[in-house]
Amino acid sequence: MWYKTELMGQILTSESAKRMIDYVSPIYGKSRIGLWLFQIIGLELDDVKEICDDIYDQIFVSRATWSLPYWEKAYEITPLPDQTIEQRRQQIQQRRVKKALNPARFEKILSSLSGVEAKIVENTGKNTFQVIFYGTVNNYDEVLRRIEQLKPAHLICDVRISEVSESETDIDYAIVSSSCEHSSVIISEV
């Protein structure tokens, strides 16, 4: 406040009211009714500012409180009942971190998910790469869903499964090909 009266010191407790009084004539510094109006309006503006600051804080995981369930829903996280707010924030932040997905890392992820060796072959066509699995993939639909989730959106994925089955009399080789649209066809059989 650039000017202050004793009456203003008694009535004005709101920070917004103290800022507003600077924009009006000094004559209001002696008006009880005017000062009380500024005080009431100031209290409401203080509440609005507090609400806006709180909403702004919810945008950032590190400061979020009541918006944590929304963050957890977005990242498909089910919190444990005994987790603290800090632990929940940390869990969300770990999911938000994007790690580089190079072919070697992609192969490791797919190998661990499918349980068989996976190999990535890049540039098999325009914006296309191949994923070759060496063995039987039991959770094929889940693997395809995960590939679609991890791969860059502009690339087309061609999934092939190379199965080798040995019997007592002969050895059969089959290459099964599919795209991420969940269709598969046997390309060749020897």
- Output the average pLDDT for the chain: 84
Residues 14 and 48 in one domain: yes
Q: Which residues pair with 19 in a beta bridge?
A: none
Pair 108, 144: CB distance under 8 Å = no
68 and 12 inside one domain: yes
**Do 42 and 12 form a contact (C-beta atoms < 8 A)?**
yes
Is 27 domain-assigned?
Answer: yes
CA 162 and chain centroid, separation:
35
Sequence-distant (6+) residues with CB within 8 A of 112 are: none
Q: What is the pLDDT of residues 148-178, one digit of tens each?
A: 888 888 888 888 888 765 555 455 454 554 4
Residues 12 and 55 reside in one and the same domain:
yes
Instruction: Identify the CA nearest to 32 among candidates 56, 7, 51, 57.
Output: 7
In this structure, the number of other CB atoms found within 10 A of the CB of residue 42 comes to 20
Q: What is the pLDDT of residues 14-68, one digit of tens each?
A: 999 999 999 998 888 889 999 999 999 999 999 999 999 999 999 999 999 999 9
Statement to judge: residues 111 and 61 lie in one domain: no
Domain range enclosing 175:
103-189
